[in-house]
Amino acid sequence: MTSSISILGSISREDFLRDYWQKKPLLIRQALPGFTPPLDIDELAGLALEETVESRIVMEQGPEAPWQLFNGPFEEAFFDQLPATNWTLLVQAVDHLLPEVGELLQHFDFLPRWRVDDIMISYAPPGGSVGPHIDYYDVFLLQASGQRRWQLGQFCDESTPLRTDTRLKILTEFQASPEMDWVLEPGDLLYLPPQLAHWGTSLSEDCTTWSVGFRAPSAEEALCGAADFIGERLKEDQRYTDADLTLPRHPAEMDDAAIQRLKNLLQTALDNPAALSEWFGRAITQTKYEDQLLPPEQPWQQEQLEALLRFAAPNQVLLAVAEGSRLAFRAAAEGRWLFADGEAWCYPASLQGWIENLCQQFTFDTQFIKLALQSPESTALLLQLINQGSLYLPDEADERGQALH
């Protein structure tokens, strides 16, 4: 699936970020010409039978209500009872399960890798849809097989009315734009910025769509998460004070000066660049699912890395980033951190080049590991990543797949 082709077609990466990212939609015809999905519809449905896989089915006319939502895992008998039209199967985080699906993400290296959430794959027979709705995050929609009609509408916000007769957040009013009404063929790609109303409908028996979604923490999540993290590091004597107190106009009144003192207290507490950096790196790389990582049965030591090299061919791939794992780094005046799947480690400036290579690659060969073993700090970091399951031996891929399923 990987190639040198630009998934943005004739548009440069710089132009896309300046003119489209989080601003307006973009349709790219034949972004991936000749694209062939590595799994078929039956295999996708098979994933929805698994206990550890997040899946949903939406029926426009359900047995109990319109736009009825069913959550997996499903039984085969459930699929046998589905109508011939007007339903959709959605399977979340398929890139965590199949490396071939995750390869698509390499085409999006013009965006921060830590922003990627997952690849959801949907299948729908003719008429299948999840209704007109919005997402609060950016999404790229790749038509993998069959045809789907996409209608785009208005930008919405939290006050936009939603239907009350379904658990789905379906818009009560959809203002379709005639200029943004397209039928996507295999290989076509549609980018949608956050909060733009859209409505996709299957036009064929073999319609599958891959949705590349991006993480967008809410202000509530950021404020509560950062405050909790920083709060654990505050000192007992950091308190509200009012040494500048003057005679109050009324003994029960909280005046503007009191509120300003409170603001100053909170701003001083939050003005901790190191703590903010560490919290954000941990939060944004956190695994999507709690039990996603599969650490080795016995923790690795340096001796195992050395033994791995002794029996390896030159330039042989020995380690790989686990499907769904996120690696990131921050190098700033307040410190240097490597982040991986919600964990954080400090590293010295001398390792900056090695850290950048680590976070850039998806696989690691003998030369990379030899370089890591030249420094105690990089050796320790590599072992940390292996022992928490962020990196693994590709030779164990079959065993990992069975465990994930």
Q: What is the pLDDT along the chain (405 residues), one digit of tens a residue?
A: 544 579 999 999 999 999 999 999 999 999 999 999 999 999 999 999 999 999 999 999 999 999 999 999 999 999 999 999 999 999 999 999 999 999 999 999 999 999 999 999 999 999 999 999 999 999 999 999 999 999 999 999 999 999 999 999 999 999 999 999 999 999 999 999 999 999 999 999 999 999 999 999 999 999 999 999 999 999 999 999 999 999 999 999 999 999 999 999 999 999 999 999 999 999 999 999 988 999 999 999 999 999 999 989 999 999 999 999 999 999 999 999 999 999 999 999 999 999 999 999 999 999 999 999 999 999 999 999 999 999 999 876 444 444 444
The predicted-structure confidence for 270-298, as pLDDT tens digits, reads as follows 999 999 999 999 999 999 998 899 999 99
pLDDT one-digit tens code per residue, 141-191: 999 999 999 999 999 999 999 999 999 999 999 999 999 999 999 999 999
Question: According to the model, what pLDDT value does residue 404 have?
Answer: 43
- pLDDT for position 9: 95
Transcribe 223-278 into DSSP letters: HHHHHHHHHTT--TT-----TT----SSTT---HHHHHHHHHHHHHHH--HHHHHH
CA atoms of 212 and 238, how far apart (whole Å): 44
- At residue 398, the pLDDT reads 47
pLDDT at res. 4: 54
- 319-to-162, 298, 314, 316, 364 alpha-carbon distances in Å: 47, 17, 14, 9, 5
Q: What pTM was computed for the model? A: 0.93
Confidence (pLDDT) at 396? 60
Residue 306, both tokens? 């050395």
**pLDDT value at position 403?**
46
Q: Domain extents for the chain?
A: 13-214, 218-241+254-271, 302-392
Number of neighbours of residue 157 by Cβ within 10 angstroms: 8
CA distance 270 to 228: 11
Q: Tell me the per-residue pLDDT of 318-348, one tens digit each, with 9 for 90 and over.
A: 999 999 999 999 999 999 999 999 999 999 9
Give the CATH fold of the 13-214 domain: Jelly Rolls (2.60.120)
Of the candidates 207, 43, 182, the one whose C-alpha atom is nearest the C-alpha of residue 126 is 207
Amino acid at 232: E
CATH class of 302-392: alpha beta
Question: How many C-beta neighbours within 10 Å does residue 116 have?
Answer: 19
Q: What is the pLDDT of residue 5?
A: 72
